[in-house]
Structure 1
Amino acid sequence: MDDADLAQERQEAHLSASLSARKPRLVSRDGNCIWCKEEPVVAETAFCSAECDEDYHKYKREMKQRAAGE
């Protein structure tokens, strides 16, 4: 095995580890926004708008901070 083969194996291992460490993508189970629950989602997302996406993630961050502070 030469240096190029070793580098390719290392790169593939790094990519595999990175992909497995990703958080699962949010998905709407019923096709409606997971935050407001009223509007249909935009394709390939779990939210009806950028505002709902931002509000959801802001809420999750705040809950995480509160739990860490207890």
Structure 2
Amino acid sequence: MKKKYKITIPFMDLRDGGRFIEALDLHTGISYDFYEVEFEQMEGEKYEEVKDYVMRRMHFIKAGAYDDENTTDY
């Protein structure tokens, strides 16, 4: 299966430590731009796939795999 999303984190909100995440669907061109907390709270079938992908990637990012304020998931 080919990768479906490209994730970038253009900035972090220093007040509450939240990351702003851009998840681009490489097949449809739709961009999902939300704070990490908003991704965690997403409900519904429409967002299930992007939410699962972002949450799995954030697990690695938080563990330090590629954690900086300009993180890009290639």
Normalising by structure 2, what TM-score? Answer: 0.29
Higher helix share: 1
Of structures 1 and 2, the one with the larger relative CO (CA 8 A, separation 6+) is 2
Structure with max Cα Rg: 1
